[in-house]
């Protein structure tokens, strides 16, 4: 029998970290498999029309559930419908999970430099959870992860506690959360500045040649564009930089 075009997935958990930021955890009716960093295509029916959008998976494949970290776009087609969902409601998911924004294990490069703003952290959360649970051979081969995660305020760094906890036990992970409006966040004790401002500082601390690094840029096209230029100036070649843009780049 041919694979179905869509399967149902039931909302099992929802955590709101701000009024426009949420983590949604769905249980698909059939087991799906994916590689950390890939995205699912989620759909909700409205007025007999299916509205679909891609979302990176924050969960690793071994977790079985589809965990999404989503920003609400008030005038958007799908995200406002997601915000109306209650536990037990269903959405559709395309069974084929797609994407090429996955950990570079084909090259000889062992330093993985990951850059994101807010929801762009999702694929790295999946990669880090996977790496923590599996891949002993990669760990023993000396693979290292550096993840820069920026937001305007600390409440946008939804996975900060989980990632800090993993980092505390893992010599392979350096997690760098940064807040760009610290004046509005007086309790924040971590790094400050926009992602673009801290990239160079941490890149220079990598203690390896640029040729040993694979960089990953995920989220807003403006951040990706700037980060790409900074990394090129730091000596990285185009093929060393992987990108996942959540929005089309602005055209002038
Ligand atoms: C591979 C891939 C993975 C993605 N993963 C995620 C993810 O993990 N989390 C996530 O939140 N989104 C992710 N996105 C974006 C997501 O697919 C939707 O585009 C987003 O949720 C908005 O959908 P919408 O239907 O609500 O708005 P749309 O109807 O698609 O857009 C309405 C308008 O808002 C603009 N817009 C869309 N998103 C934003 C935004 N974030 N900020 C400002 N303006 C915006 C659009 O350009 C358009 O003009 C991903 C996109 C891609 C291509």
The count of other CB atoms within 10 Å of the CB of residue 200 is 14
The CATH number for 62's domain is 2.40.30.10
Examine residue 101 and state whether it is found in any structural domain, yes or no. Answer: no
In this prediction, residue 252 carries a pLDDT of 43
- Residue 110 and residue 214 in contact, taking contact as beta carbons nearer than 8 Å: no
- pLDDT, one tens digit per residue, over 220-241 is 999 999 999 999 999 999 999 9
202: domain CATH number? 3.40.50.80
Asked if residue 103 has pLDDT above 90, the reply is yes
What are the residue ranges of helices labelled H in 121-170?
A: 122-133, 136-140, 160-169
Q: How far is the CA of 56 from the centre of ligand 1 (A)?
A: 11
Residue 234 lies in a domain: yes
Judgement on whether residues 76 and 154 belong to the same structural domain of the protein: no
Same domain, 24 and 147: no
Ligand 1 proximity of 4 Cβ (cutoff 6 Å): no
| Cβ atoms of 69 and 25 closer than 8 Å | no
Question: Do the domain assignments include residue 16?
Answer: yes
**Domain encompassing residue 13:** 7-93
**Residue 74 confidence class, pLDDT cut points 50, 70, 90:** very high
Q: 223 and 152 in one domain?
A: yes
Between residues 247 and 95, which one has the greater pLDDT?
95
Alpha carbon 135 to chain centroid distance? 19
Whether 182 and 121 map to the same domain: the answer is yes
Ligand 1 contacts CB of residue 78 (under 6 A): yes
Structural contact between residues 79 and 15, judged by C-beta atoms closer than 8 angstroms: no
Q: What is the pLDDT of residue 251?
A: 53
Q: For 179-200, what is each residue's pLDDT tens digit? A: 999 999 999 999 999 999 999 9
Residue 46 and residue 98 in contact, taking contact as beta carbons nearer than 8 Å? no
* Residue 126 and residue 40 share a domain: no
Distance 230 CA to ligand 1 centre (A): 25
**How many domains in the chain?**
2
Q: How many Cβ atoms sit within 10 Å of the Cβ of residue 183?
A: 8
């Amino acid at each position: 029998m041919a694979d179905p075009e869509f399967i149902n997935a039931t909302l099992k958990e929802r955590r709101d970290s701000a009024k426009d930021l949420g983590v949604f955890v769905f249980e698909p009716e059939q087991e799906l498999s994916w590689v950390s960093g890939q995205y699912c295509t989620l759909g909700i029916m409205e007025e007999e029309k299916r509205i679909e959008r891609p979302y990176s998976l924050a969960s690793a494949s071994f977790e079985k559930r589809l965990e999404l970290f989503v920003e609400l776009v008030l005038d958007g087609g799908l995200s406002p419908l997601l915000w109306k969902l209650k536990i037990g409601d269903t959405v559709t998911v395309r069974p084929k999970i797609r994407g090429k924004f996955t950990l570079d294990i084909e090259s000889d490069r062992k330093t993985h430099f990951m850059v994101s703003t807010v929801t762009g952290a999702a694929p790295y959360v999946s990669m880090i959870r996977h790496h923590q649970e599996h891949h002993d051979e990669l760990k023993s081969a000396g693979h290292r992860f550096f993840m820069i995660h920026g937001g305007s305020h600390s409440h946008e760094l939804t996975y900060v506690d989980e990632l800090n906890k993993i980092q505390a036990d893992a010599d392979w992970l350096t997690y760098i959360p940064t807040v760009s409006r610290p004046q509005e966040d007086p309790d924040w004790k971590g790094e400050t500045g926009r992602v673009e401002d801290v990239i160079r500082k941490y890149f220079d601390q990598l203690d390896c040649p640029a040729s040993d690094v694979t960089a990953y840029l995920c989220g807003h096209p403006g951040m990706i564009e700037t980060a790409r230029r900074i990394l090129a100036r730091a000596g990285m070649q185009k093929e060393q930089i992987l990108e996942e843009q959540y929005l089309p780049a602005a055209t002038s």
